[in-house]
Amino acid sequence: MALLFSSQCQSSMDKLAHIHHLTPCSVPHRLTKLPPRSHSPASIPQGMIDTSSLAFTQFSSPKLSSSSHLLNDNMGQIRTLESVRMLHAQILKMPFEGNLLANTMDKSLIRYYLEFGDFISATKVFFVGFTRNYLLWNSFVDEFESFGGDPHEILEAFKELHSTGVELNSRALTVVLKICSTLMDLWLGLETHACMIKRGLDFDVHLNCALINFYGTCLSIDKGNQVFDETPHHEDFLWNTIIIVNLRCERWGEALALFHRMQLSSAKPTCGTMVKLLQACGKLRALNEGKQIHGYVLRCGLESNVYISNSLISMYSRNNELKLARTVFYSMEDHNLSSWNSIISSHAITGSLNDVWDIFRRMESLGIKPDIITWNSLLSAHLLQGSYNSVLTIFRRMQSAGYKPDSCSVTSAIQAIIELGFFTLGREIHGYVIRNKLDYDVYVCTSLVDMYVKNDSLDKAQAVFDNTENKNICAWNSLISGYSFKGQFNNAETLLTQMEEEGIEPDLVTWNGLVSGYSVCGYSEEALTVIHRIKSSGLTPNVISWTAIISGCSQNEKYWDALKIFSQMQAENVRPNPATICSLLSACAGLSLLKKGEEIHCLSLRLSFVDDIYIGTALIDMYSKAGRLKVAIDIFRRIQNKTLPCWNCMMMGYAIYGHGEEVMKLFNELRETGIQPVAITFTALLSGCKNSGLVDEGWKYFDSMKTDYNLNPTIEHYCCMVDLLGKAGYLDEAWDFVNTMPMEPDASIWGALLASCRIHKKVRLAEIAAKHLFELEPDNSANYVLMMNLYSALNQWEDVQRVKESMVARGMTNPNVWSWTQVNQTIHLFSTEGKPHPEEGDIYFELYHLISEIRKLGYVPDIKCVYQNIDDSKKEKVLLSHTEKLAITYALMKSKNGEPIRVVKNTRICQDCHAAAKYISLAKNRSVFLKDGARFHHFVNGKCSCNDRW
């Protein structure tokens, strides 16, 4: 690049000839003898040449006609570029007639040059003469581009002028800096700054404003702030510029600090600056600063400015001060449509939907017609509050009122459709988008991609994505996440590679989509690998990254892994959020880990999550499943605004303890709140009836689902009814119920029927159920074991052997049975497989004494629970090896007197162990909590909470 600011100086004669494409001999001789001109110190320093003055110096020769006459007389004769140049040469010979006429001539010449494609000449005319009114630079650039010119040519022409020694004034440099900002030409802007300093123009306020804008756009707002601080005289225009540029760069705090300094200097902000500052206070939630600006507005009498008042309304609403927002609105003398939209948006943000509609109706009653912004505010308000059906109703009403939905309206509608699952309507919206050419909008297309992803239509999501121009990172992330959650990791990784090839760097949302996908699909190791990839990319995994893995482990019942990964998260000093706590509590609930659950509860208190409704619900679930039902009830009662999941969780908590009456009471309380029950509510309700043997009540609630609540029973509800009828002894009725189901019975139905047949020794019906189970779940050994138990209870040893041989033929073994108890911080596992407990000898010694003690209280070993063809004495020894007995005994050995015993077992407790636990609670005066594979048992003083129904 040639040096922009050459130290060599040509004669003014040569400069002028170069500017206008003229040979030196064609320029009037008297132009070389210019009269001396005086210059103000701020414009052109001594020794420099003002070429714009050369071009339009006023001559006194009476023999020449005026340039205006020359321009008018020759306009009709301009046919070629050469004729434009000839006219330009003649104009230079004419007397100067003032700035207004000069600008008019320059505009005409510029247009002629542009029409004939001579962009360089047009630009040179602009710089030499037209920049006397630098405010018109934007219109020049627009016109320049409209004729097919590249704005970069403007800067090239400027560099060419300066390379030949032409020194343009400060207004020209201001325009250059503005164009550099637009075109992001950093180096030319820096050279222009150097020129300013060399020529002593760094005191020019407009030039410094352009320089601040340039640095804020092209380099760093810090450099712009430095220019401001180094400027000795801060005029109002400069103050306003530096504040606006800081706001544009999202340096909200710096902008507010500058405004404070501006007030101390007695400078006055423009109304536009005030509006932007108030917007910043809204975004920062800086209520105190916003109030101070409001005070300044009142002191300066600016409250009548409708734009400032509208910004005050928005600021107060973003700071949750709706009352103050209304005060500003109702104190306004004049309301424009934007004022009404501002107050509607304010109520929309805070979720005051009734107030939103009151204001809307009042607005219409005053004859003020809403615009598309009003309608979009209504749509977004209902979307934010989860009123998705209302969003679609408003969308249709808006169209009926004659308003054409824009991209914002369509985006709101699509998001509501996603939440409601109305994907047929979503395809209709997609058609509207295509017909009305709204598919240019990246937010609309991203919403469509998300909609098809949620509808499991990844091919259509891919098609929308492929047809989207100027994809933003959200579109990439949505599709990558969609493929990940569906387990199509190859497609997700391919997209990630394409994304990087197109120069779009993956962000944490991109990576977290992969982490979540791997986690949900049960690939926790792969998810951890992605965590390492995040670190390698230079990013830091955040709480969402870690929570995604923890949540995935909990959902896939990898509870121990969830707790281990949380330990890694803590080692990385990542602060958990409410979602993390909920996932951890879910893991603790799955394992019935009371002490760890209590630790997580304490952590949530320290993090001030105590009022989070989701954490409250998770705590109810955890304490219920960890044997602390009273604590769960206490938490439930202290929650003020209970959600439906909260009610459902507490009902299920009562149900697993066999408190059917309490479940029904809670259901009646729920109905009184006006909250409508859903399918899972009735699952909890029927589970309570099932575990308490409430057959009539179960039938009543099952029948009411369709008649009273318009809910179609699902397979879970049918399973509850089969279990309820079967365990109550109504096996014929249960069989008829299965045969009349409107859906095909699945393994859960046949499993419930088989379990009931085992209890009541109904072999024929059990064999029918088992046959279906063997077909549906050929590799589930538990079904085979259940049949062997039934046969052995009836001494049908040949059938036992037949089932056993069938298992061997399929390569199956008896499932591992285990029980565990926690002593201090250590989990002690007792299993039918693997290594025996290190203190096994001491445990059996204590157990023998314990059995002798409870025999005196009436305990008799139930040898029918041993499904082996051996003599009775050996059966009694087998009963001693049951894992729950060993776990209870060890807990008694290691715990303090009076401390509850807690044991978790992975399969159903047997009759003998259930009876032994009752006697142990009586003999040792200890509460024994035992959670088996189906429900909870609380043994106190020789009785169980299940009332012997399990």
Binned at pLDDT 50, 70 and 90, residue 853 comes out as very high
In this predicted structure, what is the pLDDT of residue 520?
92
pLDDT of 36 above 60? no
Q: Which residues pair with 819 in a beta bridge?
A: 830, 905
Share of the chain above pLDDT 90, in %: 37
Where residue 28 falls among pLDDT bands split at 50, 70, 90? Answer: very low
Quick check: 545 pLDDT over 90? Answer: yes
Q: Please, what is the end-to-end C-alpha distance for the chain in angstroms?
A: 89
Q: Does the pLDDT at position 25 exceed 60?
A: no
Q: What is the pLDDT of residue 63?
A: 38
Q: 4-13 burial by CB neighbour count: b if 16+ within 10 A, else e?
A: beeeeeeebe
Residue type for position 187:
W
| pLDDT score at 129 | 60
Q: Could you tell me which of 357, 421, 359 has the C-alpha nearest to residue 389?
A: 421
pLDDT mean over 340-351:
78
pLDDT bracket for residue 948 (50, 70, 90): confident
Per-residue pLDDT at 153 exceeds 80: no
Question: Tens of pLDDT along 178-220?
Answer: 878 877 888 887 887 888 778 877 777 888 888 888 888 888 8
**pLDDT range class, residue 544, cuts 50, 70, 90:** very high
Among 63-72, 300-309, 495-504, 681-690, the range of highest mean pLDDT: 681-690
Q: How confident is the model at residue 733 (pLDDT cuts 50, 70, 90)?
A: very high
**For residue 770, pLDDT beyond 80:** yes
| Percent of the chain residues topping a pLDDT of 70 | 86
Q: Is the pLDDT of residue 138 over 70?
A: no
Tokens 């162990």 sit on residue: 913
Q: What is the pTM of this model?
A: 0.64
Q: How confident is the model at residue 45 (pLDDT cuts 50, 70, 90)?
A: very low
Mean pLDDT on 899-914:
88
Dist CA 702 CA 734 (whole Å): 14
- Residue 819: which residues within 8 A CB-CB, separation 6 or more? 829, 830, 883, 884, 886, 887, 903, 904, 905, 906
Q: Which pLDDT score, from 0 to 100, does residue 621 have?
A: 94
When pLDDT is cut at 50, 70 and 90, the band that residue 77 belongs to is: low
Q: What is the pLDDT of residue 47?
A: 30
936 has which bridge partners?
Answer: 931
pLDDT at 514 over 90: yes
pLDDT of residue 15: 40
- In what helix (H) or strand (E) does residue 592 lie, and over which residues does it extend? none
pLDDT (0 to 100) of residue 209? 86
Give the pLDDT confidence score for residue 97 in this predicted structure.
52
Mean pLDDT of 927-940: 85
Q: Note the pLDDT tens digit of each residue in 675-723.
A: 889 999 999 999 999 989 999 999 999 999 999 999 999 999 999 999 9
Q: How many CA atoms lie within 13 A of 795 on its CB side?
A: 3
Q: What is the per-residue pLDDT for 483?
A: 92
Calculate the alpha carbon distances from 565 to 17, 416, 513, 521, 531 in Å.
77, 35, 18, 17, 12
Give the pairing of strands 818-823 and 928-931: unpaired
Residue 2 pLDDT level (bands cut at 50, 70, 90): very low
Check residue 766 and give its pLDDT. 94
CB burial readout 427-456, b (16+ within 10 A) else e: bebbeebeeeebbebbbbbbbbbbbbbbbe
Average pLDDT rounded to a whole number, residues 225-245: 87
Average pLDDT over residues 624-630: 89
Best CA proximity match to 468, nearest among 443, 440, 493, 496: 440
